Structure 1
Amino acid sequence: MPAAADPPTGVLLLQIGTPESPSVGDVRRYLREFLSDPEVLDMAAPARWLLLNTVILPFRPRRTARAYRAIWTEEGSPLTLATRALVAGLQTELGDGFVVRSANSTGHPSIPSTVGELVEAGARSLVVMPLFPQFSRATSGGLTDRARKEAGSRNGDVRINVVSDFPDHPGFIGAVTDVARPLLDRFEPDHVLFSYHGLPTRQIRAADPSGSWCLTSSGCCDSLGDHNRHCYRAQCFATTRALVGSLGLAEGGWSVAFQSRMRSQRWIGPFTEDILAELRASGHRRLAVFTPSFVADCLETLEEIGIRARERWLELGGDDFLLIPSVNAHPIWVRGAAELIREAATEGVSG
């Protein structure tokens, strides 16, 4: 009698998600669900309800729907398409011993339904991988908690291992470099900007176990160590240092900034919109922009930077502007992600 096959390892790739369509109604539903998450709007429930229902939802859905329409394709959301391609690439790379799926915190496919699908496929161990290079509670932490909770509610013993972040992993850095290098060679920028998604300063301080390191000095993110291992801002600078080295960028030829801030709160800086003005005032004319807090092109890369930041740069008198695409399902990234997943799958204890 042949031996029973070993159960497969489930792989759960996690994203925030996207509206079902760029219609105002679908965008409103998406924003309501997404921004109701206490990890995203980390404030007292009554204050979150007031902000959401009296400030955000009456006005933002129409504006955000226009932004989504500007990047939507005939096949759907760019984020959805890129994630599907990554799932397919990883399934091929990892082989029959793994079952790869993706899920969203908001919208479809949902985390509960996808965990259920993996368990029904026979998986008794899951590798959970939020698709964000740098760790934050608002994204990676909250998504992982949801996956743990859902796996724990299932009958049987489902082990969870986690790829929590990969800010300077060679597979990620190598893929970004391979995407960017030929584009930079043709474009010949006179400056390179690394624009990361912003976070409220209180979330950065909350990640500091000592309470005395993060955001207390101008050099607090100059290195990554035990004191700031889970600091989102420090990991962004670690990504930048790795890319600067890999691309061979000259000192003074690059900057770091943070985008997508909410003006009603104090967010980490410097802000991308301010840096654009400063770079033009310094005489720069040809700007290339990376968005390495995302592995897949989405609203924040294609519309916020690729359309609005480009328009602002040209309004300021710049000559040209280049958005470096995300790694999406680039072969080097597929191999790098597979390496991270295999390493996590062999860990003997829950990640």
Structure 2
Amino acid sequence: MKKGVLLVNLGSPDSTNPKDVKKYLDEFLMDPRVIDVPFWFRSFLVRGIILNTRPKKSGEAYQKIWWDEGSPLIVLSERLQKKIQEKTTVPVALAMRYGSMTLKKGLQELVDQGVDEILTIPLYPQFAMATTETIDVKVEELKNEFFPQLQITSLPAFYNKPEYIEVLSKSISEKIENLDYEHLLFSYHGVPERHIRKSDITKSHCKIDGSCCITDSPAHEFCYRHQCLKTTDLVAKKLNLQPGTYSTSFQSRLGFDPWLKPPTDRTVERMGLEGIKKIAIVTPAFVSDCLETLEEIAMEGQEIFHEAGGKEFTVIPCLNDRDDWAEVVTGWIDRWRIVDVKTAIA
């Protein structure tokens, strides 16, 4: 069998025009694994309320971070794909879960090269319903409908893999080694607490009570909160961070349901109000800089910190197309090519 790889990231509007943003947000927010409520209510919420106001505001936010080449997330993902392709003989394609760079196009690109066995690599370190799971489900749907001949495997979450922790830690160290900062904040994308419970394969372990995430359980294989906390812990140990000098928070709340805590915006504000003058922030739920990292964190977060009395707000870039990150992904691909996916990142 001829093997191929499909890298998958979130996606982006085709432009900052509100019409393109609206089309993108409709696909994204109508995904039942993003807003997991009954269709009628999701449709009312998204198409009856959100899409009547948010596209213009989101378009303005995209304008602040848009590059001449296009969406930063798309451009950075393409650069990463190119570097990986140069390092391996396995065909490597790129697709997005939402937007015009569809999963179907990505799969077709590999099929056109004679590929009949594909490894999908969701570019998310931690597993979540709204990221990895929705990619896996959509790929399976497309396989059944259009590509029944394909054999498809998905790379498991790599939040705790030594080579990933190594390159993430190095990227942080390079930014802060000569930085006089007081606190390092690990900010992860937020999800509703119900997503954590829905992903609990034991149906009883995840209580989000402060202890379940540090108590061994099969549930951790699909527990986003546990995996975020574990990433922070492993990086802190790698960098020899002292207790009290770092913490974890969750950004991008939507709606009024309980979301993972503490929220990043309030955490940043609290630090400023408490007299902390210099903080650094890293966003390990993403491997590519995007609207959330470049606008929500780097711009809005900095503004909140300064208004609360803070002085220096340092944002650590995502891994993006770093050479060492491309080497890590290439290593997983080449080991999968020879053996299997579980061995590849064991």
Within the alignment, does 1:233 sit opposite 2:225 as a pair? yes
Structure 2 unaligned regions, length at least 5: none
Partner residue of 2:303? Answer: 311
Q: Which amino acid aligns with 2:106?
A: T
Within the alignment, does 1:36 sit opposite 2:30 as a pair? yes
SS in 2 for 1:227: helix
| TM-score normalised over the length of structure 1 | 0.93
Aligned 8 A contact 1:134 1:235 in 2: yes
Output the CA distance in 2 between the equivalents of 1:128 and 1:100: 10
Output the CA distance in 1 between the equivalents of 2:229 and 2:148: 41
Shift of 1:348: 8.2
Instruction: Give CA deviations for 1:301-329 in whole Å, capped at 9, x if unaligned.
Output: 01000000011101111010000000011
1:92 to 74, 79, 86: 86
Output the CA distance in 2 between the equivalents of 1:67 and 1:186: 31
Partner residue of 1:49? Answer: 43
Bigger shift: 110-119 or 190-199?
A: 110-119
Partner residue of 1:221? Answer: 213
Instruction: Give CA deviations for 1:124-182 in whole Å, capped at 9, x if unaligned.
Output: 10001110000012111111121122233345632111112110222322222222212
Partner residue of 1:180? Answer: 172
Partner residue of 1:122? Answer: 114
Output the CA distance in 2 between the equivalents of 1:32 and 1:313: 32
Bigger shift: 40-49 or 145-154?
A: 145-154
Q: Structure 1 stretches (4+) deviating beyond 6 angstroms?
A: none
SS in 2 for 1:152: helix
Shift of 1:212: 2.2
2:340 to 320, 324, 347: 347
Instruction: Give CA deviations for 1:55-109 in whole Å, capped at 9, x if unaligned.
Output: 2101111111111000001111110111001101111122x2x110111121122
SS in 2 for 1:115: helix
Shift of 1:214: 1.2
Structure 1 unaligned regions, length at least 5: 1-6
Q: Which amino acid aligns with 2:144?
A: G
Q: Which amino acid aligns with 1:77?
A: S
Aligned 8 A contact 1:161 1:347 in 2: no
Output the CA distance in 2 between the equivalents of 1:156 and 1:212: 36
Within the alignment, does 1:73 sit opposite 2:72 as a pair? no
2:276 to 263, 284, 304: 284
Output the CA distance in 1 between the equivalents of 2:150 and 2:231: 33
Shift of 1:279: 1.8
Within the alignment, does 1:146 sit opposite 2:146 as a pair? no
Aligned 8 A contact 2:192 2:260 in 1: yes
Within the alignment, does 1:256 sit opposite 2:237 as a pair? no
Output the CA distance in 2 between the equivalents of 1:340 and 1:149: 25
Q: Which amino acid aligns with 2:7?
A: L
Bigger shift: 313-322 or 264-273?
A: 264-273
1:111 to 103, 111, 115: 103
With over 3 angstroms needed to count, the CA separation of the structure-2 counterparts of 1:332 and 1:276, relative to structure 1, is: same
Output the CA distance in 2 between the equivalents of 1:248 and 1:83: 31
SS in 2 for 1:221: helix
Within the alignment, does 1:194 sit opposite 2:186 as a pair? yes
SS in 2 for 1:153: helix
Bigger shift: 315-324 or 183-192?
A: 183-192
| TM-score normalised over the length of structure 2 | 0.94
Within the alignment, does 1:268 sit opposite 2:265 as a pair? no
Shift of 1:260: 0.3
Aligned 8 A contact 2:201 2:218 in 1: no
The count of aligned residue pairs is: 342
